Amino acid sequence: MFAYQHILVPIDFSPVSKRSINRAQELATQYQARLTILHIVEDVPLSVTAFGDVGAIYLTPASQEQQTNSDRVKLADLAQEMNLDASVKLEVVEGYPNSSITTYAEENQVDLIVIGHSAKHGLLGILMGSTAETVTKHAKCDVLVMRVPQTEAHEATTV
């Protein structure tokens, strides 16, 4: 029987993040696998000129670094709140979630990704696409997609 050795949980601090971490912890315990929690600080434009011209305005390098440091603290706080074992690796990287997750998995010999499916609906969901869907299509390892329970999904879209 195949036993997972390294499990990756990409999170965005949404409601499904804790559920994904809990499920990954269960699997890591069952398989005696390493567990890594990954957060991607996305380099998104603050504004875009008309018709999506390449003249978009991005965060300054100092602001991006400040965001990355802030997210490292937020991830450490989450790990403490969830009583995660000290052996759980916490990673914060800059990039685009769709590609950064699969790249991280390949470079770090991950054999299972446990990822939450966002609760985005409507136009935002169509335009942004689903990170979970993209990771599922492009990952070279197994992917377990955690869905947001209906009550949490409704709360996330109405806030």
Based on the number of CB atoms within 10 Å of its own CB, is 39 exposed (0-12), middle (13-18) or buried (19 or more)?
Answer: buried
Can you give the pLDDT at residue 46?
55
Can you give the pLDDT at residue 45?
58
CA dist., res. 71 & res. 76, Å (int): 8
In CATH terms, the fold of domain 6-158 is Rossmann fold (3.40.50)
Q: Residue 64 has which token pair?
A: 């991006």
The three-state secondary structure class of 49 is coil
Ramachandran assignment for 83, one of left (phi > 0), alpha (psi -120 to 50 degrees), beta (any other): left
Cα dist from 133 to 25, 40, 62, 137, 151, whole Å: 22, 16, 32, 6, 21
- Structure confidence at residue 143 as a pLDDT band (50, 70, 90): very high
Taking residues 14-19, what's their average pLDDT? Answer: 88
- Cβ–Cβ < 8 Å for 117, 150: no
Domain ranges of the chain: 6-158
**What is the per-residue pLDDT across 106-136, written as a single tens digit (0 to 9) for each?**
999 999 999 988 655 444 444 445 888 889 8
**What is the per-residue pLDDT across 39-94, written as a single tens digit (0 to 9) for each?**
999 866 555 555 555 555 566 778 888 989 999 999 999 999 999 999 999 999 99
Can you give the pLDDT at residue 151?
56
pTM of structure:
0.81
